[in-house]
Chains A and B, each alone.
Chain A
Amino acid sequence: MMRTALLALALVSLSFADGGPPDWVPISLLAVLAGLGVLVIFYLISYLVEAEQMRAMATSEMWQVFVTGVMIAGFVGAQALSTEVFAQAFGGAFGAEAGVTHIDYAEEVAASMADAQWNQLSEFMNGIVIPMGNLASIGGTCTFFGAAFSYAGCASINIPFSSASFAARVMSTALMAVNSQLVLLRLASSFFFPVLMPFGLFLRTFHVTRGVGGFLIAFGVAFYFVYPISILVTKGMFDKVSKPVPGSPGIDAVSVDETFNYEQLYTFDVPADSCDPFALDYGYTETQIQNLMDRERMDALLYLFFIGGLFTTALNLLVALSVVRALSRVFGAEVDVSALARIG
């Protein structure tokens, strides 16, 4: 019974989380009260067993509870500041509606970036990669009384096709990075800040668990305040350079149904002007290279996926993790976040 009570005391900080997103302030206050309660018990025991050292430690730890209370007040102010001032300022600068918090707006920004990238990826695949692969696969066959030859006269289109496939793969990597950013933001708003931070405040009140407590607080704060703001800032930087993405070229591939079309009633012709395997014309490949390497489209795509997807995501994560490292020291923990940075 006592053991369950002790464990329940440790988890009591989460008791306000029932129903909807938990409100971190009462959870944190309850965490501090729980920590205070435990220290009071220790203090009383120190009188019971006449342990001066224990009493001194309990008194010293009381100060840490006080410091934690000050931290909560600071976080309340910071959250209000970020919601009322930062969100207005950043939201106004980037076009958010009034009343939208910085983290909600950052989620919106990340989701719109993911949608934009998916649309471009889908268009790139359907407009360039798939038709180009279709053309590269065209071959010709001629048989006469058992003698035959076949010729893959369009196979050289595989050169731009391979590059296009690789580019699409890199684009998908960038898209996954943006999706990761979105998931991290949801984690920050639903888990890191409202759950882990109060848990960290509770753990921080005890000497033995001060390290892990400080780390959890730093993580919650960095990913709730700094990470979304970093996303908004990098999005603002991203939007400074306007690069409209032009549509895909109309590559004239062989459609699935075309091979049975009425127009082919009298002819052996390949129903794709972009490549005829019997024509032995290397110009087909050059046309497709030009289709792929269209300067305007490639610049815009590179900017959207490399800067908007990979670079800004890595930058945002690095900023947040640097703040985690610095804040951990402030809150009494020394951690090496290089493992997380490597994952990022």
Chain B
Amino acid sequence: MVCADLSWVYSLSVLSLGITLIVIGVAYALGQLLSNPQFNVWAKTEIFQVFVSFFFVILVIYLNGSFCTFKYSSIASLSPHAEEYSHPQILGDDNVMDAAGKYLANVAYFIKTDMRAARAVYGVMEEASRYTRIPCMPAITFCFYGMNGYNVRPYSGFSGWIQMLGFSLYTDTASYLTVLVQMGLLAFISGGGIMAYLPFAIIFRSLPFMRQLGGGLLAICISLFLIYPGLLVVESLFWNPYSMLGDADWRSLENAAEGISGGFTHGSYEGIVGAMASAGAVAWGPVGAAIGAAVGALIVVIIEVATHYAGVWEQAGLEGAMQAILRAGPISFLSATFLFAFNMIAIGASARELGRLLGQEVDLSRLMQVV
């Protein structure tokens, strides 16, 4: 993210200033011509307001320059977490906009990792819950009866975990989208998109009956442009979701996503060999026991080959991953949604105060509700 060149805002604002001054000048001339003191009073009042508006535009452009030349390294030492950001790393040379953008990218990375972990465990649980066993019954027949008997999905109850993971994924997805929206909003702000309203604000503030609209526009633009990136940078200094999870090296969720390997046991191999050997012993004595054991070993080999690529899962590992996911979900939600709403309310409070100063009561509560 780079700081946008706002010289076009400056040019347009000067143009707006010129147009508004011309309109006011014409009104003043008309007032003189028609000997109407109302025109003259209006023109004198408005000429002051035009310069007030223009002052704010100049202030925004000036502060934009400050944001762009500011170095994150000058405040990074305040933070216990600044060096932990690595996806991407917030560099010392980053300005306010870049640092805010990278902080959001790190939050997005956290939530995405949380989603990956939830998705991986979800997939494992789905596979496990469908794993069906059709035992060899009765064992004494060496499985000659084929499919007769019962079948069971021993991990079918994992669908209870799956429901929880579905809810967690839903929350994470909403959080992830919220962060993406914030990144888009920041890009819009830092790219100068919102500044396009400033020239209009100058004109509107000086037109009859449009003062409130112009003042409101100016207040919203200034609040969004200055307060939002500033709050994000302050948050980046003191709020790190991985630290909150107790995982400064950014690994526990990735481990939950990638480290689930090992295995569901496909049965006790000793049990299979033992059962076959016993069946053989009952049928043919010691020789039969040896034959049974060999058959059992063959079954084991077949199972091994058949399930070689299936992967094996440890139930205890899955529970640990579930616990990590259920802890990471609220952190994702608060980092993305709660803090976003908090920032927006702070912006709303700022806009309201600034709007009053500029002659308009700005109520951003509708915007808050949309958020």
Please name all residues of chain B whose beta carbon is closer than 8 Å to the beta carbon of A244 when the two chains form the complex.
none
Please name all residues of chain A whose beta carbon is closer than 8 Å to the beta carbon of B65 when the two chains form the complex.
3
Q: Does A143 contact B (CB under 8 A)?
A: yes
Question: Residue-by-residue, is B329-365 near A (CB-CB < 8 Å gives 1, otherwise 0)?
Answer: 1110110011001101111111111100100000001
User: Are B334 and A131 in touch, CB under 8 angstroms?
Assistant: no
A21 and B179 alpha carbons, distance in the complex (Å): 27
Please name all residues of chain A whose beta carbon is closer than 8 Å to the beta carbon of B79 when the two chains form the complex.
17
Please name all residues of chain B whose beta carbon is closer than 8 Å to the beta carbon of A215 when the two chains form the complex.
345-346, 349
Known contacts A133-B158, A173-B167; is-contact A3 B69 (Cβ 8 Å): yes
Q: Does A242 contact B (CB under 8 A)?
A: no
Please name all residues of chain A whose beta carbon is closer than 8 Å to the beta carbon of B136 when the two chains form the complex.
259-260
**How many positions in chain B have a CB within 8 Å of any CB in the partner chain?**
96
Known contacts A18-B78, A140-B150, A190-B238; is-contact A130 B267 (Cβ 8 Å): no
Q: Does A212 contact B (CB under 8 A)?
A: yes
Q: Does A7 contact B (CB under 8 A)?
A: yes
User: Are A130 and B155 in touch, CB under 8 angstroms?
Assistant: yes
A300 and B160 alpha carbons, distance in the complex (Å): 20
Question: Residue-by-residue, is A330-344 near B (CB-CB < 8 Å gives 1, otherwise 0)?
Answer: 000111111110110
A14 and B76 alpha carbons, distance in the complex (Å): 11
Identify which of B66, B132, B138, B337 contacts A6 (C-beta below 8 A).
B66
Identify which of A20, A129, A257 contacts B157 (C-beta below 8 A).
A129
Pick from B17-25, B29-37, B105-113, B319-327 the stretch touching chain A: B319-327
A79 and B248 alpha carbons, distance in the complex (Å): 30
User: Are B137 and A268 in touch, CB under 8 angstroms?
Assistant: yes
User: Are A165 and B342 in touch, CB under 8 angstroms?
Assistant: no
Within 8 A of A (CB), among B76-108: 77-80, 96
Known contacts A172-B167, A199-B234, A260-B135; is-contact A219 B244 (Cβ 8 Å): no
A186 and B227 alpha carbons, distance in the complex (Å): 24
Identify which of B160, B237, B327, B330 contacts A133 (C-beta below 8 A).
B160
Please name all residues of chain A whose beta carbon is closer than 8 Å to the beta carbon of B80 when the two chains form the complex.
19-20
A328 and B78 alpha carbons, distance in the complex (Å): 27
Q: Does A195 contact B (CB under 8 A)?
A: yes
Known contacts A11-B75, A343-B337; is-contact A176 B326 (Cβ 8 Å): yes
Pick from B4-12, B139-147, B189-197, B198-206 the stretch touching chain A: B139-147
Please name all residues of chain B whose beta carbon is closer than 8 Å to the beta carbon of A10 when the two chains form the complex.
230
Please name all residues of chain A whose beta carbon is closer than 8 Å to the beta carbon of B134 when the two chains form the complex.
141
Please name all residues of chain A whose beta carbon is closer than 8 Å to the beta carbon of B333 when the two chains form the complex.
180
Identify which of A3, A138, A212, A268 contacts B151 (C-beta below 8 A).
A138
Known contacts A169-B164, A214-B349, A257-B268; is-contact A136 B156 (Cβ 8 Å): yes
Interface range on chain A (Cβ under 8 Å from partner)? 35 or more
Please name all residues of chain A whose beta carbon is closer than 8 Å to the beta carbon of B63 when the two chains form the complex.
3
User: Are A195 and B157 in touch, CB under 8 angstroms?
Assistant: no
Q: Does B368 contact A (CB under 8 A)?
A: yes
- Specify the chain B residue showing the minimal Cβ separation from A251: B157
User: Are A14 and B234 in touch, CB under 8 angstroms?
Assistant: yes
Please name all residues of chain B whose beta carbon is closer than 8 Å to the beta carbon of A216 when the two chains form the complex.
346
User: Are B337 and A4 in touch, CB under 8 angstroms?
Assistant: no
In this complex, the member of B235, B330, B338, B357 whose beta carbon has the largest number of chain A beta carbons within 10 angstroms is B330
Identify which of A17, A214, A338 contacts B238 (C-beta below 8 A).
A17
A13 and B176 alpha carbons, distance in the complex (Å): 32
- Specify the chain A residue showing the minimal Cβ separation from B334: A183
Please name all residues of chain A whose beta carbon is closer than 8 Å to the beta carbon of B159 when the two chains form the complex.
133, 165
Please name all residues of chain A whose beta carbon is closer than 8 Å to the beta carbon of B352 when the two chains form the complex.
211, 333-334
A193–chain B nearest beta-carbon distance, Å: 11
Known contacts A134-B155, A168-B163, A259-B135; is-contact A208 B330 (Cβ 8 Å): no
Please name all residues of chain B whose beta carbon is closer than 8 Å to the beta carbon of A278 when the two chains form the complex.
150
A216 and B227 alpha carbons, distance in the complex (Å): 12
A11–chain B nearest beta-carbon distance, Å: 6
User: Are A195 and B70 in touch, CB under 8 angstroms?
Assistant: no
Q: Does A59 contact B (CB under 8 A)?
A: no
Within 8 A of A (CB), among B49-66: 62-63, 65-66
In this complex, the member of A125, A337, A339 whose beta carbon has the largest number of chain B beta carbons within 10 angstroms is A339
Question: Residue-by-residue, is A1-45 near B (CB-CB < 8 Å gives 1, otherwise 0)?
Answer: 001101110110011011110100000000000000000000000
B227–chain A nearest beta-carbon distance, Å: 6
A336–chain B nearest beta-carbon distance, Å: 4
Please name all residues of chain A whose beta carbon is closer than 8 Å to the beta carbon of B137 when the two chains form the complex.
264, 267-268
27 contacts between A and B (CB under 8 A): A3-B62, A7-B67, A7-B70, A7-B96, A17-B238, A134-B154, A134-B156, A138-B151, A138-B152, A141-B147, A143-B147, A169-B166, A183-B334, A195-B238, A207-B357, A208-B354, A253-B154, A257-B271, A260-B136, A260-B272, A262-B271, A262-B275, A264-B137, A267-B137, A268-B148, A338-B369, A343-B337
